Structures are given as structure tokens and as C-alpha cells.
Amino acid sequence: MKSRPRIVNALLSSLFACVVACVGSGAAASTNTTEITDMWFNPDESGWGVNMILQNNVAFMTFFVYDENRNPVWYTAQLYYLQSFVWSGLVYASRGPWFGGAFPPTGATIRQAGTANFSMAENNLDHATLTYVVDGVGVVKDLQRQFWTYENYSRIYAGGYSVRTTQCVPGAPNANGIEEVTGILEVDHNGASISMNAVATEFSCSFVGTYSQQGKLGRVAGNYACTDARRGSFTMSDMTPTVSGFTGRIEGQNQFCQWSGYVGGISREQ
């Protein structure tokens, strides 16, 4: 394999390292859309919400809402991904036998009750707009992911990333091209504080940032520096964790280029 210039390796390694440090995402987002699986609510209206489960490009939504008599009522929706972070589909009303008794096979009834639309901005994955109509009543709500506790990504990972460089200065290696790297990353994470060290064959890089939890997703913003003098800022988002590793999106800049792409890592066996 033809070796990359030292300066390119440094950039790649730093990006990858950054990825792990920012890691917080391993339940991998859907293969076709960003990860929206979460508990969504409006903090100014505590007591109701919607739960979203995403499989590929189909989202199943359950509503925790009440009827005009303040009694709990059960609605579900099956939404399909359209484009530009928009999901849309039908809403159903369900009724069934008492939960404490027998549940006969034909005990539940389901009817189409309306439609729903769930949308978010690519640069703000923590917030969404829910628009739905049930039995002729229209509702529009601003939602955000519900936070309970921080994830913890303190671990050693084996993985890699792929990014595209843009707006490079003249003479920058691999200017406006694809850069990829694999390696080992060690992450130290405690609440809002996160740091990472990545050691490559010819150099090492360190990343330090502030971690924020957005429902099940994580986000990191900070700075990185490498022993070959490369340095800059980075942001990692759409981070989802699992016991086996993480995935996420990453972007940043240094004194040579801007860059953005995807990262991921496998938890290293100890």
C-alpha cells in the first residue's frame, strides 16, 4: 500500500481520535436516516410525550396523551422517512381489554384516526416539530429529547473514520479529497468532561472537549493538537452508544483544511 504523506496521516489520525473522544453513539443510527429513537417531550408541558423507535427508514411512535376528560388515551403512528429529516405517516387509535385480565386474540381494536409528521433540522438533532391530526383535531408541538443521565464512553476502541476535506489552503495534501484512517483510541469521559488520546506510528494526537447529552445521543465540541503541529477545532454529533462500540458524525478544521464525515469504533477486548 502506498504510504500517505506524514501531514495527511496526522490529519487522519487526529480526526479519528477526535471521533472516539466524542463518541457517545454506538447504537448506530438508522442505515438510511439519522437516529431519532428516543423519548421526546416538551419541557414546558411535563406529563405527556411521544416515544420513537426507528428501524431502517420506518419509525414507530407511541403517544402518551389524554382525552378531553383528562383520561389517558392510546395512539400510535407508523412514519416513513421522506427526505430532509422528515418522517410522515398514519396515526391509529387502539382499544383493548383490561391489562390485569385475560387478553383474547381478538380483544383489541385498531382504527385509523389521523396523520402525523415529524421533522428536525440537520444541524439541531436535539429538537423536532411534531404535527398531527387525530379525529379532526390538529396539534403542533415543539419537542426535544428527554435527558436522564450521562452516558460514559471511557474505554479503548479500535475503529476508524472517513472524512472529506474542503476549503484547503494551496498546497495542502489531499486537498478537497477523501481521507481515511484506522487506529486505537483511549477515551476518558466524566460527565461534561471528555478527552482522548490517539497514538499513531509517527505521531500522537490529543483531543479535549465538552460533552453534552441529548437524549440517547451525545455531542462533543472542543480542540485537538498533534505532535506534528497540526491543531484545530472539532465537533462530533449524532453519537449513539452500545456495549460493542459507537458511531457518529464529525466535522472540524485545522490550519490547512475544513473536513466532515463519519466515525465509528469497536470496543476493544481487554
Domain termination site, one of 145, 171, 189: 145
- Whether 114 and 174 share a structural domain: no
Single-letter code of the amino acid located at 236? M
Given a contact cutoff of 8 angstroms between Cβ atoms, the answer to whether 222 and 208 are in contact is yes
Category of 268 on φ-ψ map: left (φ > 0), alpha (ψ -120 to 50) or beta:
beta
Answer whether residue 159 shows pLDDT above 90: no
What is the C-alpha to C-alpha distance for residues 85 and 54, in angstroms, rounded to an integer? Answer: 13
pLDDT of residue 227: 82
Structural domain includes residue 33:
no
Domain termination site, one of 99, 118, 145: 145
Domain termination site, one of 127, 145, 163: 145
Structural domain that includes position 64: 38-145
What is the C-alpha to C-alpha distance for residues 260 and 267, in angstroms, rounded to an integer? Answer: 23
Structural domain includes residue 30:
no
pLDDT of residue 35: 87
Dig out the grid coordinates for 228 from the structure. 506534528
> How open is the CA angle 254-259-260, to the nearest 5 degrees?
140
What dihedral angle (degrees, nearest 10) is formed by the CA atoms of 40, 43, 44, 49?
A: 30
- Whether 78 and 120 share a structural domain: yes
* Arithmetic mean of pLDDT, 244-269: 90
pTM attached to this predicted model: 0.79
Least confident of 13-22, 24-33, 212-221: 13-22
Total number of domains in the chain: 2
